[in-house]
Amino acid sequence: MVPVLSCSRRSALAMIGGAIANPFADRTARVATAAPTSSAAGLVRYLNPTRYRIRHSITVNRQDAAFNYLEAWLPVPVSWPEQIISDLKITPDTPPLSATDCRDKVAKWYLDQVRQLSGDRLEFQLEYTCTRYAVASDLNQLRQQPWQPYDAEAPEVKRYLKPEARVQSDQADLQAIAARYVGHQRPWGEVAFNLYTWVLNHVDYKFVDGFKGAAWCFTEQHGECGDYSALFVALCRAAGIPARLCPGFHLTDRPNEYHVWAEFLLPTGEWIPVDASLGDLEAANRLQYFGNLNNKRLAVVKTADLRLPGQSRGHDHVEFLQAGAVWWQIQHGSPAFEINFQRIDG
């Protein structure tokens, strides 16, 4: 068995599995949803919708390999206020599986017989339309939003305050940093902005070998977009602010433009986007990347530690899912895997 995890920057594969798929069928699902023009409390506005058609695939080239089994995952984006997903087509046909403790979904395939893998090429593919909105907010308004307590029993609050394998908000060093900025009833937006500024002042952008996570980024003081975001999320959680990772893609004309940003939750129920790595790389625009995003990106999931129900065969957990996931076992040979995320709207 060979696992390979997806990374935050380059094209890569991650390993994980699903139910037996019919390789000759496909299914189309349609979602009709309209985005609001602003959030419930009016702190966030959604502007300039742009529509994209997306294809996301994992291709297996058997070459001379004889498989005992093959297991593959692709993240299935869901609709949020800033992105509407519609006209979803999954090939081979398999129903998306919902994560156990968040809204994220996964298309999961599991093939366990060599005869199911006849032919030199096998492809797992999603196609869907994304209507993406720009997100805009006022920095001063976010920082001055009066303090109020979070609802400790709200599912989103409980879920996004917990430490995770790569978001180590329970680490003492990170808790000590967060404690510097949490004053008595200090506005949560102000606390989050100070933590964002701390990350930008203490981390340098540097290519690394895949997603390392918050604790590694804190110790090494460098990383890629996923590491910046994981550190920001961990510091927010350590400060008592629910926060989450947003692994996804830039929606440019180039394929495989991987990117990761973050969101933190205000007690008013609004999720505020934060892009720490771009805030660092574009120092003149660092204020812009706190609370604002353009309409040229897509979040494929909004978590790091993704868990699926255990009813189907294969794996049920991955610490980071972005490009996709594959596990396999072979009798002999050397298969090749290719992943592609691209716009197909011309």
Type of residue at 97 = L
Lowest-confidence region among 109-123, 140-154, 325-339: 109-123
Task: Record the tokens describing residue 262, joined without a space.
Answer: 């973050």
Give dist(CA 105, CA 111) in Å, integer: 20
Q: Whole-angstrom Cα distance, residue 209 to residue 231?
A: 17
pLDDT (mean) for 11-27: 29
Residue whose entry in the numeric block shows the structure tokens 């961990």: 234
Global pTM reads 0.88
What is the pLDDT, as a whole number, of residue 66? 84
> Per-residue pLDDT tens for 106-119?
999 998 754 556 66
Q: Residue 36: its pLDDT value, please? A: 61
Mean pLDDT rounded to a whole number for the chain? 87
Helix, strand or coil, per DSSP, at residue 314: coil
- Of 4-8, 182-186, 213-217, 331-335, the least confident: 4-8
Give mean pLDDT, residues 172-180: 97
User: Which tops the pLDDT comparison, 4 or 341?
Assistant: 341
- The per-residue pLDDT for 40 is 62
Crossing angle of helices 225-238 and 172-179, rounded to 10°: 70
- The residue-averaged pLDDT of 257-275 equals 97
Cα angle 81, 82, 83; round to 5: 100
The predicted structure's pLDDT at residue 35 = 55
Q: What is the per-residue pLDDT across 70-99, written as a single tens digit (0 to 9) for each?
A: 999 999 999 999 999 999 999 999 999 999
Q: What is the pLDDT of residues 22-80, one digit of tens each?
A: 222 222 233 334 556 766 668 999 999 999 999 999 999 988 888 888 999 999 999 99
